[in-house]
Amino acid sequence: MAMGRAHVSTDQPVAGRYRLVGITHRETNRVRWYADDLRTGRPCLVTRIGLPRDPADAARRAPSRVLRTTENLERLCPGRTATVVDAVDEGGFLWTVTARIDGAPLDEVLAARGAFTPVRAARVALELLDVLDAAHSEAITHGELSPGQVFLRESGPVVVTGYGLAGGTAAPRLTAPSFASPEQARDERIGPAADLWALGAILYTMLEGRPPFRDRGSPGATLKGVDRLPLPTPVRAGPLARLVQGLLRKDPRERLTRHVVREVLTRVLREEPAVAPAPAARPWPRRAHTGAVGRAVRERRGRSMLLGTALAVVTVAVAVLAATRGLPGAGGESAAGAPPASASTGTGATGGAPDEPGGPGTAPPSAAATPAPSPSPSDPEGLPPGYRTYHAPEGFSVALPEGWERLDTSRTPGPAYRVTFGAGGDPRTLAVTYSERVGTDAVAVWRDTVEPGLQRSGGYRRIGGIRAVTYQGREAADMEWYAVAGGDRVRTFGRGFLLGGGRGFSLRWTTPAAGWEEPGGREALGVLLRTFRPGPG
């Protein structure tokens, strides 16, 4: 690999070696050409990017960092990222040279053939996620990802270009501001969450045929829109809609994790009818760019990807995912009762590991609060004053009282977890537990899996029976109990519900036993049950 400085213009060979033939991609602050390497006689791609002006040594260091980053990625995921064979800088521009890529840029394919089906988009997104995972494992953030950086190939997974730019300059975002994350728009330091935002923006673009935030005429105006404007609701995303919305959350701390993203994409592909992959058009005619620029551009446009998937597949996809996600249904009632309950269920000692999401409910002997009917899966509206919707990186969301935050997160190997919410000075807590090892009977989960552990806790006493209910159209069960935590008597209401495929959640609301009947507590429980959403997939 070579690196250096050279005086260049588009009218003469770059670095005296690379003859520019035809523009293949243009976006804010980035232009890519088909080119010929005059030394070897081989075709190549040459990209020009404007470097920031302020850091005095940014231009000097950018080529070496780009080369080093792409070398590392070639080791991590061979053939999945474009190998930069040369890099030079001059006049405030970074010029990178990559070998021929046997594919067509995603933005070109979309322009030629229109939006993708959810199945096709999920396949591309999963391949792109593989590259991001490999890079993030080595603390490498792309930071410049856009459809123009993703090449679709006739055979084989996608190829990603543009690595090393974020590490090679001090600028938070150099190109494609429509795909910048909100933290980049605010000039904040970025990390893997910025790449996940870009993945969500690319997925949105594949499904909707346009980016989530349009170019507003200048980078500053576009970035301001990304940071401040609400996300336009995706209308063609089908089973991927909630995934897209979860990736495009403004707060990077609430963005979906890569594990959740992979799980949803994999499930969509697994549950869809078999669909033959749409072939990418012939990427690059062997001598397509030996003539004038106009001829090269015409030939480039002829290399479009053939994308076609029957509309029936999309319809079936939506139906399948809707079935697994469940439809709105009648909500069960919570119970009231008497004796002690284990704080573990709301504050941590639940007797079971996070992979035991308890499930059923209890009909109280002494009646009390009745949670609101289960809501529809759409985002809740009209929250009472003093509540805000929290979006967890694990994928779920729920409306919490103002001032509440995550107090504790416990995990077991694999995807099982328990997240506990509360606030300083407030004795109440909510524990959200998820597992992929629950059975097919919600009542039995409480009775056979959760309760034996609770019985080993001090002061445990169940209130009434375990009651089967329906929650958001899913099989569910409620259980209520007393326990002793830190010397105090507490009471817990638990609702567990099944998602199918061994997956399930439990929601465990714990308060001081003496304060169970307080109106504020009953209202909070009703809001929690009404607004909880398990997340995409």
pLDDT in tens, 105-129: 999 899 888 999 999 999 999 999 9
Same domain, 381 and 441: yes
CATH number of domain containing 25: 3.30.200.20
Same domain, 161 and 269: yes
Asked if 163 contacts 302 with a C-beta cutoff of 8 angstroms, the reply is: no
Q: Could you read off the pLDDT of 156-190 as tens digits, one per residue?
A: 899 998 887 655 444 556 678 899 999 999 988 88
Percent of the chain whose pLDDT exceeds 70: 73
pLDDT at 434: 94
Distance from C-alpha of 499 to C-alpha of 274, rounded to nearest angstrom: 23
Parallel/antiparallel/unpaired status of strands 84-90 and 2-5: parallel
As beta bridge partners, residue 475 has: 470
Same domain, 114 and 243: yes
Over its C-alpha atoms, the chain yields an Rg (Å, rounded) of: 27
CATH number of domain containing 125: 1.10.510.10
Domain of residue 38: give its range: 2-102
Q: Is residue 295 part of a domain?
A: no
pLDDT at 471: 93
Same domain, 375 and 448: yes
Give the residue carrying structure tokens 């990802």: 145
Q: Is residue 83 part of a domain?
A: yes
Same domain, 78 and 158: no
Residue 382 has pLDDT above 80, yes or no: no
pTM: 0.57
Mean per-residue pLDDT of the chain: 77
Q: Is residue 352 part of a domain?
A: yes
CATH number of domain containing 361: 3.40.1000.10
Same domain, 80 and 117: no
Which DSSP string corresponds to 149-165? GEEEESSS--EE--TTH
Q: Is residue 298 part of a domain?
A: no
Alpha helix (H) ranges present in 140-278? Answer: 165-168, 182-185, 192-208, 219-228, 241-247, 258-271
Q: Is residue 536 part of a domain?
A: no
pLDDT at 217: 82
Same domain, 266 and 180: yes
Same domain, 418 and 429: yes
Same domain, 251 and 395: no
Same domain, 258 and 407: no
What's the domain count of the chain? 3
Q: Is residue 296 part of a domain?
A: no
Q: Is residue 300 part of a domain?
A: no
Give the length of the chain: 537
Q: Could you read off the pLDDT of 2-42 as tens digits, one per residue?
A: 444 334 445 688 888 899 998 888 877 788 898 999 999 89
Q: Is residue 294 part of a domain?
A: no
Same domain, 94 and 127: no
Same domain, 122 and 15: no
Q: For residue 515, which amino acid is it?
A: G
* Distances 104 to 109, 285, 447 between C-alpha atoms, Å: 7, 11, 56
